[in-house]
Amino acid sequence: MTALDEHPSTPAAEIGRDRRRKEDQRLITGRTRWTDNIVLPGMLHLAMVRSPFAHARILSIDTSAAAEAPNVVSVITGRDVAEEQGGLPNAWPITPDQVTPVHPPIAVDRATFAGEVVAVIVARSAAEARDAAELVDVDYEELPAALDLRAAVEEGAVLAHPDLGTNKSALWVFDSGTAGTGGDVESAIAEARNGGIVLEREYRQQRLIPAFMEPRSVVVDPTGEQVTMWSATQIPHILRFLLAAVTGISESKVRVIAPDVGGGFGGKLQSTPEEFITFLLARRLGKPVKYTETRSESLVAGHHGRDQWQKLTLAATADGTVTGLKVELLADLGSYVALVGGGVPVLGAFMFNAIYKIPAYHFACQTVLTNKTWTDAYRGAGRPEATFGIERIMDELAAEVGVDPLEIREKNWITHEEFPFTTVAGLTYDSGNYEAATARAKEMFGYDELRAEQAKRRESNDPVQLGIGISTFTEMCGLAPSRVLGSLDYGAGGWEHASVRMLATGKVEVVTGASPHGQGHETAFSQIVADRLGVPFEDVEVLHGDTQISHRGLDTYGSRSLVVGGEAVVRAADKVIEKAKVVAAHLLEASVDDLEFSGGRFSVRGTDQGTSIAEVALATFAAHNLPDGVEPSLDSDATYDPVNFSFPHGTHLCAMEIDTETGELNMRKYVACDDIGTVINPLIVAGQVHGGLVQGIAQALWEEAVYDDAGTLVSGSFVDYLLPTAADTISFDIDHTITPATSNTLGTKGVGEAGTIASTPAVVNAVVDAVRHLGVHDIQMPCTPERVWKAINGASAHTPTVEAAAPHFGDADPATQGNQEGAGQ
């Protein structure tokens, strides 16, 4: 029995309702306060001097001209603060022997990527600080830079950190045979080589930049009893803990506030050098200090995401039943191991088996240090990469067997009767129905009609070919449970905290430890509480993002806020009802056992006697007539730590038209049928899915962080980094099937990353499907018209065979990635 069943007659008026977001009025009318809008008396401003070299020894820094510049208060180099600046934390050492370079906020002797801070100007205005930064004269000795991920692991490679003696940071391995969750993958492959199918494929996950709308900004005020930091961050609570842990200042003397935050996508799941520098200098100078990055700084020095080489070996029987999967990854960490950077591919380790019953599985990831911007979580973090790999190779398997890619998926997926299902990676999927989501997606897409059109175009040799891409994805989200995170050596837990405060007037304040930055928690959580307590939606206020208001929390990432934070809210609200029931029974002169609660009213069963929760709140506030020993407060807290992840899934279908003469791509249709359990706010969810889809499609078609041979980010502005706008996309068709999650009261699953995880392979599968009959089996992302054209023109017309599979991992020349004929650039 769920907690919802305990209040069966509670009207579910709000859950499932298309409420416009409460937050939007203040956001879109400019009546909010972004961090950069904060102005404090006597505030100083910072500008960063950043290394133009990917790898260089800092011989000397002449700050004299900058120090003389108008209104410059101070110029600081790494050497000036070497003793006190500490090192930036890595919260997820994925192996005990992980090689983790010390990460000083300001480089001291050596710059390790182009964009690293080497000196800081403090001035009375931001403009003056920036002008003075131009006057700092740094004498660098340029060093050889480790820039290519695959070259970096070879014998005798250039070292990103020569003192460490290696670029290999950690090797993380999961083996189903050893773990007892499945068989031995090598035996499965050996068996498949004998009459079955073995496919070897390499996929490149290009480097991406989480281009949030609001650049990162931080203000630190050290002038009060506490040091207060405002930061455009996703993680105010974690940041407060880290500031205290690194600097030794008592946590109680540090207050972190995340005001309205303009997007993050994982890019603000970080404790940044800039935050630590601002904190340090504000305390040193005893004055409020602000730093707001420029867009260029954001692109070059905010962390990047993805950047992997994946090698997959899939074993199957001749009819396409998968018997084993081996995954070998190289993951580029950049020049430091970021807060959770090393753990990102580990999250993917649990998702390569996806929705399929794979009897044997081996996963090995080598994380690698290079002289590039450090990488960390970017929307989906590990799971989009895994989903891409498996969904691409399932298409390859279908081509090899000669059946429709949906048929091969159906042959291998977990059927709805088989839930709960423990996978070969050791996770237990609690609920799902892949058949239902696929059937609905096919219907919306007009699958059979489009396949018929595709056949016709192929037959008539139409210059514009049609491709159909499929992605039947699942993901693990709702980051928690603490014990599981602990078993993976993650440095924190995954619980979430909430308080529900009944005000005297019957209005309600909800405090959540989840810290939204665009997700609409104020609206969705108000809907949950309005239903739970039977109060009007408008009467609920949701507070968050200030460690002094919300003293406990683990913030927002990993699509965790609803399934973990929302459940904490439900549990706190239920405690309010239990407390109020005691007072109501007293006021009604009835027994607690005779009371029922529905629609915000306690009534005595079988009578017309009753009182509203608002009346009980007022009576509790007055406290004139409470039962003996009952405290005059209905306020309640809950800290929730789930026992399992949440497993959203869905079927995404994409139709792409490809002009075979020019390589031009045109998305014709995109259908997403996601199962995210109970939907709290369909409008918010649609926004999340749309935004997620665009981000995933952008990886498939447009975005890439490109470095030149010297290690300079050449896609360092929005002119070169192709971030799409609404005008670049089509109108999506979305719908939902619902199999409630069993891990939370409301039956919800997360949605914040689903669109991004699912869409990339759907699009690339569609692109490849359009030209597969021309002999192409892969095109490296982003699938630009040039790459598509080259793949078509360099390819012979035959279908890839087992023998002609992709080059062996580690030996492949990046220039020939794309298909076995080496034309997919």
Pairing of strands 56-62, 305-316: unpaired
Which residue, 239 or 792, is less far from ligand MCN as judged by CB?
239
CB nearer to ligand MCN: give 10 or 519.
Answer: 519
CA torsion 479-484-490-494 (nearest 10°) is 40
59 within 8 A of 89, measured Cβ to Cβ: no
Q: How far is the CB of 572 from ligand MCN (least distance, A)?
A: 16
**Peptide linkage before 420 cis (omega within 30 of 0):** yes
- CB 552 to ligand MCN: min, Å: 17
C-beta of 54 vs 672, nearer to ligand MCN: 672
Which residue, 269 or 590, is less far from ligand MCN as judged by CB? Answer: 269
CA distances for 268 relative to 233, 384, 548, 594, 785, angstroms: 5, 18, 20, 50, 32
Q: How far is the CB of 448 from ligand MCN (least distance, A)?
A: 30
* CB of residue 732 to ligand MCN, shortest distance in Å: 16
Closer CB to ligand MCN, 683 or 722, in the complex: 683
Residue 409 CA to residue 486 CA, distance in Å, equals 33
* Of 468 and 498, CB closest to ligand MCN: 498
Minimum separation from the CB atom of position 686 to ligand MCN (A): 10
State the nearest-atom distance from the C-beta of 217 to ligand MCN, in Å. Answer: 15
Percent of residues in the chain assigned helix, strand, coil, to nearest 5: 30, 25, 45
Q: Strands of 481-587 (E only): list them.
A: 496-502, 508-512, 540-543
Judged by beta carbon, residue 263 or residue 822, the one nearer ligand MCN is: 263
Q: In the bound complex, what is the minimum distance in angstroms from residue 470's beta carbon to ligand MCN? A: 23
Nearer to ligand MCN, 542 or 766 (CB): 542
Distance CA 749, CA 745 (A): 11
φ/ψ (deg, to 5) at 822: 75, 35
**Three-state secondary-structure class, residue 670:** strand
State the Cα–Cα distance between residues 349 and 424, nearest whole angstrom. 11
Least distance CB 555 / ligand MCN (angstroms):
9
Cα–Cα distance measured from residue 428 to residue 350, given in angstroms and rounded to the nearest whole number = 11
In the complex with ligand MCN, the residue whose CB is nearer, 546 or 778, is 546
Q: Which is nearer to ligand MCN, 212 or 352 (CB)?
A: 212
**Residues binding ligand MCN (CB under 6 A):** 212, 263-266, 379, 517-521, 524, 556-562, 676-681, 684-685, 688, 691, 748-753
CB of 235 to ligand MCN, least distance (A): 12
Give how far Cα 127 sits from Cα of 115, 124, 132, 231, 493, Å. Answer: 19, 9, 9, 20, 41
Nearer to ligand MCN, 325 or 685 (CB): 685
- Cα Rg of the chain, angstroms: 28
Contacts within 8 Å (CB) and 24+ apart, 60-64: 60/138, 60/139, 61/118, 61/119, 61/136, 61/137, 61/138, 61/139, 62/136, 62/137, 62/138, 62/139, 63/119, 63/136
Considering beta carbons, is residue 313 or 519 the nearer one to ligand MCN?
A: 519
Other CB atoms within a 10 A radius of the CB of residue 796 amount to 12
- DSSP annotation of 413 reads B
Q: How far is the CB of 514 from ligand MCN (least distance, A)?
A: 6
Task: Please state, in angstroms and rounded to a whole number, the distance separating the CA atoms of residues 671 and 119.
Answer: 50
Least spacing, CB of residue 146 vs ligand MCN, in Å: 29
When the beta carbons of 89 and 696 are compared against ligand MCN, the nearer one is 696
Closest CB 517 distance from ligand MCN, rounded Å:
5
Q: How far is the CB of 677 from ligand MCN (least distance, A)?
A: 6
How far CA 218 is from CA of 244, 268, 289, 336, 554, in Å, comes to 17, 12, 8, 22, 20
Residue 538: burial class (beta carbons within 10 Å; 0-12, 13-18, 19+):
exposed
Q: In what order do the strands lie in the sheet with 733-736?
A: 464-474, 649-659, 665-675, 733-736
Pairing of strands 361-369, 322-334: parallel
Segment 796-801 long-range contacts (CB within 8 Å, at least 24 positions apart): 796/821, 797/773, 799/399, 799/400, 799/772, 799/775, 800/396, 800/399, 800/400, 800/775
User: Between residues 21 and 669, which has the closer beta carbon with respect to ligand MCN?
Assistant: 21
For the beta sheet containing 361-369, the strands, ordered from the edge strand earlier in sequence to the opposite edge, are: 168-175, 361-369, 322-334, 305-316, 197-208
Q: What is d(CA 272, CA 263) in angstroms, rounded to the nearest whole number?
A: 16
Q: Which is nearer to ligand MCN, 176 or 271 (CB)?
A: 271
**Residue 33 C-beta: closest distance to ligand MCN, Å:** 18
**Least CB distance from residue 251 to ligand MCN, whole Å?**
24
- Angle at the Cα of 584 from the Cα atoms of 579 and 585, rounded to 5 degrees: 100
Give residue for tokens 């939606």.
537
